[in-house]
Amino acid sequence: MTSSKLPHCWNTLYVNIKSLRTVLQWIPSHCGVQGNEEADRMAKLGAEDEQENNPVSLTEMKTIIKSLHRTPQSQDSYHLLSRPQQVVIFRLRTGHNRLNQHLYGKLHVVSSPMCSCGEAEQDTAHILRDCRNHQVLREEIWPLPESLHNKLYGPEAALQKTTNFISRSGLQV
């Protein structure tokens, strides 16, 4: 650097970046290290590409690199649903929903936990299995008997039927 053979490097390192300490170290290449030739070739190809100007922190870069090398995991039925469908299933599974049992018991925003059919408290099981207000729709969507467990934890098609039922029933969960 002091011999001025590379003045543009000298200007960059000593004039433009005054506050930084810069250390240059020569590293031998093509010295029999397995994969070195391929790495060198790929580095040269990458250097020829136009580089994006998107600053990324070291932490972000590590996350990106790890995600690129992570083996994809098969998704369960729940995660194959759309986000709105997942919300419906989650609320039905947990009981944290807009059905009267929860609105009365936890939030005290309705006068009773009872369903409008008058036969039982309005909860997930009652709506999906027993409520006479939704009997016709239930028989249309599930013409054959279907367990509550399958409606809430079954394969993707079963979960889609459940979200379809809720949507068509007009219930807000």
| CA gap 42, 171 in Å, rounded | 57
User: Does residue 156 form part of some domain?
Assistant: yes
User: Does residue 95 form part of some domain?
Assistant: yes
User: Does residue 48 form part of some domain?
Assistant: no
Average pLDDT over residues 30-54: 73
Q: Does the pLDDT value for residue 68 go beyond 70?
A: yes
How many domains does the chain contain in total?
1
User: Does residue 85 form part of some domain?
Assistant: yes
User: Does residue 36 form part of some domain?
Assistant: no
* Helix, strand, coil shares, percent, the chain, to 5: 55, 0, 45
User: pLDDT per residue over 75-133, tens digit each?
Assistant: 789 999 999 999 999 999 999 999 999 999 988 899 999 999 999 999 999 999 999 99
Per-residue pLDDT, 87: 94
Supply the range of the domain harboring residue 152.
78-169
Please give the residue that has the higher pLDDT: either 57 or 6. Answer: 57
Q: Tokens for 28?
A: 């031998």
The neighbouring-strand residues paired with 114 are 121
User: Does residue 1 form part of some domain?
Assistant: no
User: Does residue 45 form part of some domain?
Assistant: no
Please give the residue that has the higher pLDDT: either 48 or 145. Answer: 145
User: Does residue 18 form part of some domain?
Assistant: no
